Amino acid sequence: MGNPRVIYWFRTDLRLHDSPALKAALDLNPDVLWPIFTWDPHYVYRAKGGVNRWQYLFDCQNDLSESITKLNPKSKLFVVREAPQTVMPKLFKAWKVTHLVFEKDTDSYGRERDKVVVDLAKKAGVKVISPYGRTLWDSDDLVVQNGGKPTMSITQLQAAGKKVGKIPRPLPAPKHLPDPGDMPLDFGLESPDPKPDVNAPLRDGKDQAYTSLAGPKGDFAIETLEELGFPAATTPHRGGETRALKALEHIIADEEYAATFQKPKTSPAAFRPQSTTLLSPHLHFGSLSVRLFYWRVQDLVDKYKGASSPPESLTGQLLFRDMYFAAQAAIGSPFVQTLNNPYVRFVPWHLPSKAEAGTETGTNAASGAYHVDTPQADQWFQRWKHGVTGFPWIDALMRQLRAEGWIHHLGRHAVACFLTRGGCYVHWERGADVFEELLLDHEPACNAGNWQWLSCTAFFAQYYRCYSPVAFGQKWDKEGALIRHYVPELKDLDQKYIYEPWKAPRAALDKAGVKVEGDGLGERRKGTYPEPMLDFGERRGVCIAAIKTAYSIGLHGNDQQVKDGTWRKLFEDAGEAEMEQFEGSDHDDDGEFADDAEQEARKGAGKRGAAKQGPMDKHVKRLKA
């Protein structure tokens, strides 16, 4: 018998460096190795994905393919255009495969898909190897060490991590790769059902993703935006392992920045360059190994005097990522929603998701369909989504997100708080849905987990701390540079009014060539900016009182009353929440507790104040120079 004939299935790991799965494949000493990517219709039609993220994926695939070819000119990334669940058994047979190797995926769909593929491999006599490599620790091991429960805090994550063991050191990239074997395709293409296509509204051309198994030229080429019927991407951020490694080197080279990083001190208003690493899309696509990132920083921290520590530090940020992954690993598919999620508080938000019929144990958020309980809330939601709320700080961030696919963590805090508990009282699942489409770094676990945090439905409970859509931005960016860039209709407005244009006198507006009018939806007259859609001070009070009521009723997503609708009576019986006065800025959130939810003891100690110049600002200045 010859040596193994291995399919290496690239998915969440579009890199060659530090890939435990690729190492496992090469350790088999294969006769042949096919590096493949299956073009899965689930992601093409059933999961929301904006054009910018597709572009980023293609960047990663193209870069990876070139790197593979550098190691072996006969090889590259071979894209097979069919669902893995149907194409794999055909490949096993036609290519005489002995082993299938891939990096473990803990996302809900990933787990379902992999279970099907592993069963099919077993039936075909193909051995499967699938080590973890996407997180610092294996998320399933963390769950075991956390008593089978989701990790709901950094402290729990750190304790479980300690029991699992030391975070493995990164592995070097391979120096050569085996030849691919023959690739006969003596079988038909099983075309997917393109309906429902949740991405249809984004397409302006014909979708030709599935015309043949090996692509239009039969050479297993990487797809293009045109083939998917998408317009060109608008993001300046581009993907690929080569870029990711370069970006990491650049960050580590600034030792002070990397070693003393404190997330709450980084500015959400900084752009080009941004104040944090912007490595999240690379981590999402696996073009950067999270363990390489961790150890490069940790090694620096170990020898640096006065380094910062988790949760605010750079390694602390990576711990948050692992925390959400392990929370999702424990809870499974309900993690991304309220319904059936025992860890998420039930709040009767506006615009709730439509539950799929007959799915008491199933999902409700995935389709994005929702009930319009009040037209007002839907109008607020539409205005938020399209960056025309009339609050320039919120609009700048939402427009940055739409155009570029990335905004700073505290920017995400600001817009998420505003949509949910600090303004509109709209369901966090609506916001998560919009982020799912627009983020380059969209990660089901991190997105849902952070929305739960921001809406105070899980992970974080200080619902009386709200971000002001005016004062919070002003703290970081008095002159309104972010606003002037992303909301160009206000670019010439006096600094005094840039966060509150509705307060500007006629003369100031005339001088800036702008009129404040309308709701911003539909056709907007040139030179106009919308009126503010709500009175923030008033809405903050309403939201806080309503959440207080929800907390006192204390339902969670898996409670029977939530599933059968009898929650309504409980809330009616509780009556109108007493309108407490959570007046003024004492309760404004400046983000100084952004990573600090668990440190209750220190909660009251932090004083608000002007952002001080620190290594973060110096780093941004150095980058600008």
Ligand X SMILES: Cc1cc2nc3c(=O)[nH]c(=O)nc-3n(C[C@H](O)[C@H](O)[C@H](O)COP(=O)(O)OP(=O)(O)OC[C@H]3O[C@@H](n4cnc5c(N)ncnc54)[C@H](O)[C@@H]3O)c2cc1C
Sites for ligand X among residues 352-411 (CB under 6 A)? 408-409
Q: Tell me, by CB under 6 A, how many residues bind ligand X.
A: 28
| Contact pattern from residue 215 through residue 254 relative to ligand X, giving x for each residue in contact according to CB under 6 A and a dash for the rest | ----------------------------------------
| Residue 263 binding ligand X, by CB under 6 A | yes
- Among 277, 308, 337, 353, which residue sits at the site for ligand X (rule: CB under 6 A)? 277
Cα diameter, the chain: 86
- For ligand X, give the closer residue by CB, 187 or 593: 593
| Contact pattern from residue 336 through residue 355 relative to ligand X, giving x for each residue in contact according to CB under 6 A and a dash for the rest | --------------------
Q: Which amino acid is at 409?
A: H
| Residue 5 binding ligand X, by CB under 6 A | no
Q: Which amino acids are annotated as binding site for FAD, given as ranges?
A: 276-280
For 282-298, give one letter per residue: b (16+ CB within 10 A) or e: bbbbbbbbbbbbbbbbb
| Residue 320 binding ligand X, by CB under 6 A | yes
First to last CA, the chain: 62
Q: Which of 13, 106, 132 is nearest to 445 (CA)?
A: 106
- Among 19, 55, 276, 313, which residue sits at the site for ligand X (rule: CB under 6 A)? 276
Sign, CA dihedral 223-228-234-237, equals negative
HSE-up of residue 206 (Cα within 13 Å, Cβ side):
3
For 357-385, give one letter per residue: b (16+ CB within 10 A) or e: eeeeeebbbbebebeeeeeebbebbebbb
- For ligand X, give the closer residue by CB, 19 or 65: 19
- Among 294, 324, 346, 529, which residue sits at the site for ligand X (rule: CB under 6 A)? 324
Structure-token pair, residue 363:
């999902």
Sole window of 319-327, 394-402, 474-482, 542-550 interacting with ligand X (rule: CB under 6 A) = 319-327
Sites for ligand X among residues 443-462 (CB under 6 A)? 443, 446-447, 450-451, 454
| Residue 106 binding ligand X, by CB under 6 A | no
Show the CA angle centred on residue 53, arms to residues 47 and 56, nearest 5°. 135
- For ligand X, give the closer residue by CB, 5 or 409: 409
| Residue 439 binding ligand X, by CB under 6 A | yes
- Among 9, 39, 56, 435, which residue sits at the site for ligand X (rule: CB under 6 A)? 435
Distances (CA, A) of 440 to 236, 329, 363: 11, 22, 24
Beta-bridge mates of residue 168 = none
Closest approach, Cβ 327 to ligand X, in A, equals 11
Sole window of 275-283, 457-465, 490-498, 570-578 interacting with ligand X (rule: CB under 6 A) = 275-283
Q: Which of 58, 315, 86, 325 is nearest to 191 (CA)?
A: 86
Binding site for ligand X (CB under 6 A): 263, 276-280, 283-284, 317-318, 320-321, 324, 408-409, 412-413, 416, 435, 439, 441-443, 446-447, 450-451, 454
